[in-house]
Amino acid sequence: MAKPTVPQTTWRGKDTCQFNPEYEHTDIFYTDVKMCQDIQIVDHGSKNAHRVLCEKALDYLGDTINAVDVGCRDGEFTRYLSWSFNHVYAFDYRRRIYFAMNININEKKVTHYTCALGDQIKTEYASGRGNFRSTKVDPRWKNKQQRIYTLDYFKFKDINLIKIDVDGMDGEVIRGAMNTIQRCKPVIIIEEIMSAGGTPNHDGVAQLENLGYQKVFSLKSDRIHNDYVMVPALT
């Protein structure tokens, strides 16, 4: 049986035409705000978590050829990656129009895929929310199925950095990216959320440590959210 193909996301003109080149090298983003129907423009400032993590990761990189952004949402991290890397592959199972408003799609430096990543190729019902498997399903996504792929399926070459932030599926993403990680040895940025009892919401960090990865930088945004920059064993 032939493998299913994964088409790149296509964007409508009304989405990309709202991209403002004046914001391309700033910390200003289009976004949606809860309880507000209008599109909002927010300046996150140069010390925002996404930019800080990206800059810290760059300190441990020699080459900046290709990067992968898993859980790219509205392009808040993708933009910073695009400043330094030749190409960025961005993944999110939701096709969010703000991505095309924040990222210069026409420059061809970023490829977006509207699919989830995990540890095997399969189809699941999706919640329509940031957490793919959230029990609070967006009414627009009721009974809607979404395809899940592995990162290894794409056979990307020269991957120097992988960022993962998918609210609990991070460990599955790592398992589905083992070949890529072992072949390319990228720097990895990964989020971990701790429960009240101190248990992480996935085993991705532990998996990376078993591969010899080390934490070289951590950022704690609140009492439960931790982001780590992890690098292959330092020699």
Q: What is the mean pLDDT of the chain?
A: 90
Q: For 102-154, how does the pLDDT look when each residue is reduced to its tens digit (9 = 90+)?
A: 999 988 899 999 999 999 999 888 777 777 777 787 778 787 888 899 999 99
CATH number at residue 43: 3.40.50.150
- Which pair of tokens denotes residue 204? 């991705």
Residue 1 lies in a domain: no
* 12 pLDDT above the threshold of 50: yes
pTM as predicted: 0.92
Please indicate, yes or no, if residue 2 is contained in any of the structural domains: no
Quote the CA–CA distance of 66 and 191 in Å, as a whole number.
20
Q: Quick check: 16 pLDDT over 50?
A: yes
Residue 8 within a domain: no
Cα gap 204→210, rounded to integer Å: 10
Highest mean pLDDT among 24-38, 107-121, 188-202: 107-121
Within a domain: 186: yes
Positive or negative: CA dihedral 193, 198, 204, 206 = positive
Question: Is residue 175 scored above 50 in pLDDT?
Answer: yes
> Does 6 fall in a domain?
no
Domains identified in the chain, total number = 1
Instruction: Supply the range of the domain harboring residue 73.
Output: 13-231
In a domain, 97, yes or no: yes
What CA–CA distance (Å, rounded) separates 145 from 118? 15
Structure confidence at residue 36 (pLDDT): 57
8 Å CB contact between 140 and 95: no
Question: What is the 3 state secondary structure string of 156-218?
Answer: CCCEEEEEECCCCCHHHHHHCCHHHHHHHCCEEEEEEEECCCCCECCCHHHHHHHCCCEEEEE
Range list of H helices, the chain? 13-16, 49-58, 78-84, 97-102, 170-175, 178-184, 204-210
Lowest mean pLDDT among 48-57, 175-184, 188-197, 213-222: 188-197
Name the H helices within 17-129: 49-58, 78-84, 97-102
Residue 36 within any structural domain of the chain: yes
Burial of 161 (0-12, 13-18, 19+ CB in 10 A): buried
**Alpha-carbon separation of residue 209 from 212, 213, 220, 228 (angstroms):** 5, 5, 19, 12
Q: Is residue 5 part of a domain?
A: no
Given this model, what pLDDT does residue 1 score?
Answer: 41
